[in-house]
Structure 1
Amino acid sequence: MHNTPLNAADFEVLEDTLLKYGDDHSVLNPCELDGYFTALVSGPAQVDIAEWFPGIWGGENPNWDDPQECRQFIDLCVRHINGLAEQLSSDAAGFSARFEHSEHQGQDLLLAEEWCFGYLRGVAVGNWPEMPATQTQLLQLIIDCAEQDNFELPADLDFNQQRQQVAAIEPAARELHGYWLSRR
């Protein structure tokens, strides 16, 4: 049960719960949660649920309306984080980040900003130490994407540049996972 991949309905439950209990300091959607969990399973050491669960909520666990709702949310989170850990450890090349899909000026776009926000939250909760220059540059790709303001895409958006930036995120995450995996 704890390794069963999440389906669309499961992600809907996650999203509804994040929106219900979240605030400006918490993870707000499944894309950001996916980035958060990816960084947690990719870091230098395993992070205990007692640390990562409050990290979803900005440090303060919510006051749940129903204990079953909390259990369901935790179960879905554990399934997802376990799935990411398994995927990255056994078949990193098959890893696919959960980016947002959007349309701008009639063109389909993948937006990685929210995922990158989550990833950086996971890096902070995982307390990543300094890394060599190569890995620092990989992390910088994620930082740069998180700093983009994709809430309002500009009329003069350079589609090729935007797509190249997003295309660099998954390989960077794979390489950072591989770096820390080889040192655990």
Structure 2
Amino acid sequence: MQDQPLNAADFDFLEGALLQYGDDNCVLNCSELDGYFTALVSGPAQVDINDWFPAIWGGQTPNWSSPDEAKQFIQLCVRHMNTLASQLIANPEAFSPRFEQTEHQGQPLTLAEEWCFGYLRGVSLGNWPDLPAPLTAKFQVISLCAEQDNFELPADLDTALHQQNVAAIEPAALAIHNYWVAQR
């Protein structure tokens, strides 16, 4: 089925391919890929696979080890995009961005920077026009998070504020999606 959610093994395959064939110009992990696809299925117009697939790889197509590997990667991407599109339209409460998890000072911490960076990649590829003022603030929640460089979290990180900012991303993405769907 083309919108059956991916399982852990599917995400492991995607992650492995991104690591094997990617570089600094590519989508680097499944969190970034999830944000990228969320923007693509949320935008004002459909983006063709001939545009979104090479953009994952910084404009270049990988030298796959086999045609089956390339086919599996593309099929999993399409399935994940279809799942996201279905969730966002028919079951938005099931939508959950694929944020990364880490530990900070012995406590679990959700990181959304990679997801947000992927989302901005999708927005750029989709060549979105400006959003109306009420949604611009919601978009800024995502774009500001993408600009953060949290490869090493500061010792004095305000974790409560950080988690509050991360919690605002999902509703922002849903509101933006709903706006563009109504405009299509």
Amino acid in the other structure paired with 2:162: Q
Paired residues for 1:62-141 under 5 Å: 62-141=62-141
User: Residue 153 in 1 paired to residue 181 in 2?
Assistant: no
TM-score normalised by the chain length of structure 2: 0.98
Amino acid in the other structure paired with 2:126: G
CA contact (8 A) 1:88 1:174 kept: yes
Deviation at 1:13, TM superposition (A): 0.1
Amino acid in the other structure paired with 2:147: E
Q: In the TM superposition, what whole-angstrom CA distance separates every residue of 1:124-161 from its partner, at most 9, and x where no partner exists?
A: 11110111111111111101001111110000010111
Q: Distance in 1 between matches of 2:72 and 2:40?
A: 20
Report the RMSD for the aligned CA atoms in angstroms: 0.7
Q: Give ranges in structure 2 of 5+ residues lacking alignment.
A: none
Q: Distance in 2 between matches of 1:125 and 1:92?
A: 24
CA contact (8 A) 1:44 1:183 kept: yes
Paired residues for 1:20-39 under 5 Å: 20-39=20-39
Q: Give ranges in structure 1 of 5+ residues lacking alignment.
A: none
Q: Distance in 1 between matches of 2:132 and 2:3?
A: 33
CA contact (8 A) 1:26 1:56 kept: yes
Q: Distance in 2 between matches of 1:18 and 1:178?
A: 30
CA contact (8 A) 1:93 1:174 kept: no
Q: Which residue of 2 aligns with 1:181?
A: 181
Deviation at 1:93, TM superposition (A): 2.7
**% identical aligned pairs:** 66
Give structure 1 regions of 4+ aligned residues with deviation exceeding 3 angstroms.
none
Q: Distance in 1 between matches of 2:147 and 2:119?
A: 12
Q: Which residue of 1 aligns with 2:42?
A: 42
Q: Distance in 1 between matches of 2:146 and 2:180?
A: 22
Q: Distance in 2 between matches of 1:105 and 1:131?
A: 38
Question: 2:130 is paired with a residue of what secondary structure?
Answer: coil
Q: Distance in 2 between matches of 1:127 and 1:156?
A: 37
Amino acid in the other structure paired with 2:115: W
CA contact (8 A) 1:31 1:100 kept: yes
Moved more, 38-47 or 130-139: 130-139
Amino acid in the other structure paired with 2:93: A
Q: Distance in 2 between matches of 1:18 and 1:64?
A: 11
Amino acid in the other structure paired with 2:44: P
